[in-house]
Amino acid sequence: MLKTETPSSEHPQLDQYPLPELVAAFVDDQFNAVRSVRAAAPQIAAAIEAAVPRIASGGRLVYVGAGTSGRLGVLDSVELYPTFSWPRERAVALLAGGEAAMFVAIEGAEDDREQGARDLLAAAPTANDVVLLLAASGGTPYVLGALHAAREAGALTVGIANNTHSPVADEAHVGIVLDTGAEVISGSTRLKAGTSQKIVLNTISSAIMVRLHKVYRNLMVDLKPTNAKLFARTVRLTVHATGAGEAAARAVLEECGFHVKVAIVALLKKVPVPQAESLLAQAGGSVRGALNA
């Protein structure tokens, strides 16, 4: 039996726990998600190292999964645009059962291996694409179909699973096994297995964006302000990075379309916005590179 399907030996009387003990059982078990990710850190780093050159060459991040795993992939993909100004067309999420499965469970969709391959091929994969394949069991047919289609297309495949010796991890170019073990509620991988997958996706996509110079120091300097909160954040980030007053920061931001990177370079180098934009372009988008030019 898969570890993720095995009844937990720690909580055989879960349904009789007093409420404080019940809450503690769920919360405490989440620490195992973090431990499993830490144990897989070398493989996560290997995936990022292999992915960065492809993404830098114009590739896309393609997420593939079913159920909880698939929805986590969708979540990571859609957040890249507001966080890093990452083009929406370069973060593609494929969910077994299609968009409707984001809100309603589509029974049996995860068992269709051929549909996984068709969906992946419909996305027209290239050799520069990085395909992140998620399956807690490690053997979801939909995900395996997409995995093999992606490999045949020459894309980099990263398999993320929660069971050892699973096809999704073993047959991908880079396999990441998150050995989270039995769930508090037997087989409910929306619990710590899902948490571990979200941590890995956050880590991979965020680290790639750091390597693509979308972070300066530890600041989100390439965000896309799409609401009042984010517009206010651009001002705070610019003030923090440059030491400029709020009025001066806002004035430069308005001139450059609230592009924090450009505002930082313009203020710190004391150059006009067009020159700051040119320095950033010459430095490949690196704020540090532009400041040292």
What predicted TM-score, i.e. pTM, was given to this entire model? 0.95
Q: For the chain, what is the domain count? A: 2
User: Alpha-carbon torsion 130, 161, 76, 210, what sign?
Assistant: negative
If asked whether residues 138 and 23 sit together in one domain, one would say: yes
Residue 261, Cβ density class (10 Å: 0-12 exposed, 13-18 middle, ≥19 buried): buried
- Tell me how far CA of residue 236 lies from CA of 13, 221, 244, 248, in angstroms: 50, 11, 10, 12
Placement of tokens 């680290």 in the chain: 207
* Structural domain boundaries, residue 123: 3-211
Residue 215 forms beta bridges with which residues? 220
What residues have CB less than 8 Å from 205, skipping those under 6 apart? 61, 76, 80
If asked whether residues 39 and 83 sit together in one domain, one would say: yes
If asked whether residues 74 and 127 sit together in one domain, one would say: yes
**CA separation for the pair 155, 73 (Å, rounded):** 18
Active site residues: 79, 110
Q: Which of 216, 212, 138, 151 is nearest to 179 (CA)?
A: 138
If asked whether residues 24 and 160 sit together in one domain, one would say: yes
Look up the CATH number of the domain holding residue 256.
Answer: 1.10.8.1080
What b-and-e string marks burial along 152-171, b requiring 16 or more CB atoms within 10 Å of the CB? ebebbbbbbbbbeebbbbeb
- Maximum Cα–Cα distance for the chain, whole Å? 68
Kindly report the backbone phi and psi dihedral angles of residue 137, in degrees, each rounded to the nearest multiple of 5, phi listed first: -70, -30
If asked whether residues 94 and 195 sit together in one domain, one would say: yes
Print pLDDT tens along the chain (293 aa). 899 999 999 999 999 999 999 999 999 999 999 999 999 999 999 999 999 999 999 999 999 999 999 999 999 999 999 999 999 999 999 999 999 999 998 878 999 999 999 999 999 999 999 999 999 999 999 999 999 999 999 999 999 999 999 999 999 999 999 999 999 999 999 999 999 999 999 999 999 999 999 999 999 999 999 999 999 999 999 999 999 999 999 999 999 999 999 999 999 999 999 999 999 999 999 999 999 98
